[in-house]
Structure 1
């Protein structure tokens, strides 16, 4: 499946944010395949607070990947309401 974006700004910022929080390319790919709308989200407003919360309670990149693989609603609940 190919996805086109007007600019790479949002997808790049989402991918960078995930990498900054320790998610591997494989983890990011799995997450995006399950919820492609994440790539058009505002990384700082929508995703960063959630990732910040999970890391503040001691979760690492691998922990985050496991949580999001099982239940992406932790990341995309606001996005589904918006789009």
Structure 2
């Protein structure tokens, strides 16, 4: 329980420091999912040190961002 309380406090501090609503930080949280989408679409580079790059949500977003469209190579 102490670890969760401490983690939640750190998430709130991070949210304030970045001036972003990051939600709970868990991949099932809609606010966190939206933030990840915004990270890739708007290049929110200030988030990079805080994102778990081994997280499937991150990997999916990165893959979608890097994927070229059918007509992008013309």
TM-score bucket (shorter structure): 0.3 to 0.5
What is the TM-score normalised by the length of structure 2?
Answer: 0.35
The structure having more radius of gyration, on CA atoms, is 2
Quick one: higher RCO (CA 8 Å, sep 6+), 1 or 2? 1
Question: Whose helix proportion is higher, 1 or 2?
Answer: 1
